[in-house]
Amino acid sequence: MRRLYKLIAQVLIVSMVWMPFSLQASMVGTDQVVATASDQLNRDKVLSFMSRGDVVKQFETLGLSATTAKERVNAMTQDEVNKIAGKIDSLPAGADSGAWILVLVIVGVIVWLVWYKK
């Protein structure tokens, strides 16, 4: 048992000499943490936007594969990603598909048939 203690002590002495004691702890500001977290969220937002089906189809019609587009996003600087994420946030929800006009016409016809066909 004494030999085991001696071996453990020798291993600890060697590891303390071998490892540097230059570790330094410092305060991290909230703005640094928030900036890092928002940068990662913006990059994830752009990558998830690139994974949408309609976006992938548009890339394919332009001759660009989805994997190539994701690689290009990963190669972007953080400022470029933040600009694109800001543009994604400013897009209208649902975009302008024109389907609401068709729904409005169908509802109008149904109301007209019910109202005037009594």
pLDDT, position 105: 77
Which tens digits make up the pLDDT trace of 81-104? 888 888 887 776 655 556 667 777
Residue 68 in domain: yes
Which tens digits make up the pLDDT trace of 38-67? 888 888 888 888 888 888 888 888 888 888
Residue 114 in domain: no
0.75 surpassed by pTM: no
Give the residue with greater pLDDT, 17 vs 118: 17
**Alpha-carbon distance 85 to 110, whole Å?**
42
Question: Nearest CA to 13 among 5, 1, 3?
Answer: 5
Give the range of the structural domain holding residue 48, as residue numbers without chain letter. 29-92
Q: How many domains does the chain have?
A: 1
**Alpha-carbon distance 16 to 28, whole Å?**
28
